[in-house]
Amino acid sequence: MNRFTSALRALVAASLVAPLGLLAATPKTAPVPAAAAVAPAPSSLPQPPEIAARNYLVMDMTSNQILAQKDIDAPVEQASLTKLMTAYLVFDALRTKKITLTQTFPVSVRAWKMPGSRMFIDPKMQVPVDDLIKGMIVQSGNDAAMALAEGVGGTEEHFVQMMNDQAKALGMNSTTYKNPDGLTEPGHLTTARDLATLATRLRRDFPEYAYYDAIKKYHYAGTPPSNDTNRNGLLFRDPTVDGLKTGHTDAAGYCLIATARRDFPNVPGRRMLTVVLGTTSEAARLNESQKLLNWGYTAYEDIKLFGASQPAVTPSVWKGKENTLKLGRPEGIVVSVPVGGAAKIKTQVVRPDPLVAPFVKGQQVGTLKVSLGDQPLTDVPLVVLESVDQAGILGRAWDAIRLWIK
């Protein structure tokens, strides 16, 4: 047996297994992480207005870029912003048909005696899930949050464990829950960044329930009619605002996560998110949130680089049934740039090479790096748009020889 034959057999054998040192990324079944914003140099991009808050963040939800921020990784008290995670788990239980909106939950003595803001339900009532959600979101009812937690989790303690498990699954690595309502408790902490992650996933994962956040008034029979107004005053001030949640305790200050949707010719339905924490009054949290929303929409514009499921790049693939691999984003790729800055956009694709099949749809393979001139702007994870299976033995053997020669 000559040296060439030995080498050929070795290459054929190697072609039947995943190559070490080449790209052999693990297929992902979970959603690929959204684009992570790169913190720009302060002098190079528009500067936000002065914001009277301990922590804040404004993010373009369409591009997934953070446009301005202050101390977004500092630990903070959550107050009733906690209820967004309670809502997330309730919506998940609804989608998986573990509960229904018309199903009624009992009101325990524990729920009835909850302090702070309330829906004013009592143990004589059997309350539909739909009404409990409205009571928790519109009236910020701690009693409603507890009734939902006990109804979905069996006990408050088990539900809190579910909250912490979900936080880890969403990548909220700086968040710890101690209760489902947000009352001050040692260790019950989060960050502005984690809250933005939760708000974004709540909108993205459960769009069918987003209408709850925009309800301006709600009253449950048998409770005080005067307790019917949504605490989010921006719903009454700005017609483009459609959420999301207020919070207040002495430790947390006055807080608000706000979402808005405004139409623009190039990007209809452009979404903006603000997280404002630790202000001194109800009026301050509304004013500072409004300032950030307006600034985000006017200082930046969204540019669509690639449409939904449009490949951003189609590199060659080895040992596959197809010759190329389509990489992009299923929702398309949009970037936020300072108004008038579209001509300065530069892009660069960073990916492993060579690319060796198989590849599964949704698998992350590389990154689109976007810059404004020489200033890094954002990194967009690129995913496989169409699966590429492994080729047969002969196809893999041939590509193994070509890679060897290469």
- Active-site residue set: 80, 83, 140
Round to whole Å and give the CA distance between 39 and 89: 31
Q: How far is CA 61 from CA 15, 57, 210, 271, 392, in A?
A: 43, 12, 15, 5, 43
Round to whole Å and give the CA distance between 80 and 271: 23
- Work out the widest C-alpha separation in the chain, in whole angstroms: 93
Do β-strands 76-77 and 189-190 pair in parallel, antiparallel, or remain unpaired? antiparallel
Round to whole Å and give the CA distance between 75 and 388: 43
Residues 6+ apart with CB under 8 A from 258: 232, 234, 241, 243, 244, 273, 274, 276, 289, 293
Round to whole Å and give the CA distance between 377 and 35: 11
The two three-digit tokens of residue 226, written as one number: 């005067």
Whether the CB-CB separation of 115 and 183 falls below 8 Å is answered with yes
Whether the CB-CB separation of 25 and 364 falls below 8 Å is answered with yes
